[in-house]
Chain A
Amino acid sequence: MKTVGVLALQGDFEAHRKAIERAGARAIEVRSAEDLARCDGLILPGGESTTMLKLLDVEGLTEAVRRFGLEKPIYGTCAGAILLAHEVSHPHQASLDLMDIAVERNGYGRQIDSRIAKVPVNDGGEFEAVFIRAPIIRKIGEGVRVLAEYGGDPVWVEQGRHMVTTFHPELTEDPRVHRRFVEKL
């Protein structure tokens, strides 16, 4: 069985741990480089990207996660998508730069603009997308594949081994997004 690490510095890592188990892989919480070394893939969960960046930096994990991403798959949701992006705006901040996407933080506005939407998937069907103070993907580079859109913006994309969603499938019972990530391992 493959092992998926969930970065557990801050955020909804517990919900991701359960979602990974529903998708048929083993999940562990990652708080150190030693934890990371045991993983076949990594999830950067939802939460506050500024908090995660700070802790990654203080704990000397920024480089470890970046190096991990050069070899193994990473899936980022919401704050995790912000961390993986090439470019971050509103406001500008540092990132791991592992995917060729530009994201705008809090793209829909504040919490009162958070929403749950039915989103069609490109290969048929639809799913329930939970957006919470979500970012918007404003630009994608060549080689980035859009798997779902909402309101004309990509909300689920992948590039090579990496994947992001700006919404939170871990807050639903639907295992399809996590299953797709597990299949990448």
Chain B
Amino acid sequence: MYLSDDFRLKVGLAEMLKGGVIMDVTNVEQATIAEKAGASAVMALERVPADIRKEGGVARMASIRIIRDIMSAVSIPVMAKARIGHFMEARVLEALGVDYIDESEVLTPADEEHHIDKRGFKVPFVCGARNLGEALRRIAEGAAMIRTKGEAGSGNIVEAVRHIRTIVKEMKQLTVLGKEELVHESKNLGAPLELVEWVAANGKLPVPNFSAGGIATPADAALVMQLGAEAVFVGSGIFKSEDPETRAKAVVKAATYYNDPAKLLEASEELGEAMRGLDVAKLPQEELLQTRGW
């Protein structure tokens, strides 16, 4: 599967998004602001995670009208979210022609045991992960891009940091193991041996590894990129801040110059208030979004 033309094209688009910022948008106006600020793609959805968290109820695939309007308004790739396991929402999004589908824990899961078998789709998928086993299971199902889950809508970077550090550390550990140990690790990780062996040989995931969930400032974006993320998703962090346009530009700059503190300082000045943010440690277990996914 990993050498098929289809899979290479899916990973290829993820390659093109590296070093960039993918922004959550809920209408044409926001999508246009995001594109003008330099977003490399937008994620079309009905409510940003912070509002889903606040308002509750079942969070589903966005309305087709919103996604279609955004697709006609911008020239950059448009992604949309489907519920975990909801392969028919995914089929609808594929028929609509979105450029990437996020099988996302931010929406209410449709299946509490299974994810979508993404191999049968022509449209590429991105999936969230908190650790290497989860990442490799999603890749085995056909995901062409992995992102850390973080804790969406929290404005708190701590979970994204935990997840990217965990994935990077678990990959490093595999690189020093012998063949028989990898068989054992494959069992521990709950991931196919073929993928475990690939990671052990290469020290990275076979697909691009991005970060999401709690990024609210330029420094947050730079932090996860320093830790190994190759691009960032910003959900509520931009359009829940005081001055979305300025913040959007600043995060774009930070994703490029994550290794240059002087440029990060420029990006961090005159930003206005960031989104308020939540202490993830004080959130009740049942309100965590990151625990969705299996």
Contact = CB atoms under 8 A, between A and B. Distances in A.
Contact of A90 (B8, B19, B75, B122): B75
Interface string B1-20: 00001001100110111111
Interface in A1-18: 8-15
B260 A171 contact: no
Interface residues of B, number: 37
B255 interface: yes
Interface in A103-158: 105-106, 109-112, 114-116, 130, 132-133
Contacts of A116: 5, 8-9
A61 to B, nearest CB: 11
A51 B39 contact: yes
23 contacts: A8-B256, A11-B16, A13-B19, A46-B16, A47-B19, A47-B20, A47-B40, A48-B16, A48-B17, A48-B41, A48-B76, A50-B35, A51-B40, A54-B36, A55-B253, A110-B97, A110-B98, A111-B98, A111-B100, A111-B123, A111-B124, A112-B122, A132-B16
A31 interface: yes
A133 B10 CA distance: 11
Contact of A15 (B5, B15, B71): B15
B77 interface: yes
A31 B260 contact: yes
Nearest to B231: A10
Contact of B16 (A47, A54, A91): A47
B159 interface: no
Contacts of B38: 10, 50-51, 54-55, 58
Contacts of A110: 71, 77, 97-99
Given A31-B260, A47-B19, A112-B94, A132 B9 contact: yes
B87 interface: no
A178 interface: no
B8 A11 contact: no
Q: Which of A105, A111, A112, A130 has the most CB of B within 10 A?
A: A111
B18 A10 contact: yes
A172 B13 CA distance: 14
Interface string B247-268: 0010011011100100000000
Interface in B122-170: 122-124
Contacts of A112: 94, 97, 122-123
A48 B76 CA distance: 7
Nearest to A132: B12
Contacts of B256: 8-10, 31, 55
Contacts of B19: 8-11, 13, 47
B288 interface: no
A79 B231 CA distance: 18
Contact of A91 (B15, B39, B75, B253): B75
A116 B260 CA distance: 37
- Tell me if A's interface is mostly helix, strand, loop or mixed: loop
A115 B8 CA distance: 10
Closest 9 pairs between A and B when the two form their complex, measured CB to CB: A54-B38, A111-B99, A12-B15, A10-B19, A48-B40, A116-B5, A10-B20, A132-B12, A51-B38
B33 interface: no
Interface string B78-115: 00000000000000001001111000000000000000
A162 interface: no
B37 interface: yes
Contacts of A130: 8-9, 12
Contacts of A111: 9, 13, 77, 98-100, 123-124
B143 to A, nearest CB: 15
Interface string B32-62: 0001111111000000000000000000000
A56 to B, nearest CB: 10
B258 to A, nearest CB: 11
A51 B13 contact: no
A171 B12 contact: yes
Given A46-B16, A51-B38, A54-B37, A115 B75 contact: no
Contacts of B16: 11-12, 46-48, 78-79, 132-133
